[in-house]
Amino acid sequence: VENEPRTIEPTPVGAVVLGEREAFPSPLLTAVDVSEPVVSGDLLTLDPSSPGRFRRTREWADSGVVGIIAGDSFVADGRMRAHLATTGIHVAHAEALRTAIGVGDLLVASSLAGHVAKAGEAKAGTVVGKALDPLPSGTGSIRILVMLR
- The contacts of residue 61 (CB under 8 Å, 6+ apart) are 108, 109, 119, 122, 123, 126
Q: What is the pTM of this model?
A: 0.81
Low-confidence ranges of the chain (pLDDT < 70): 1-27
pLDDT in tens, 99-114: 999 999 999 999 999 9
pLDDT at 96: 98
Provide the pLDDT for residue 130.
97
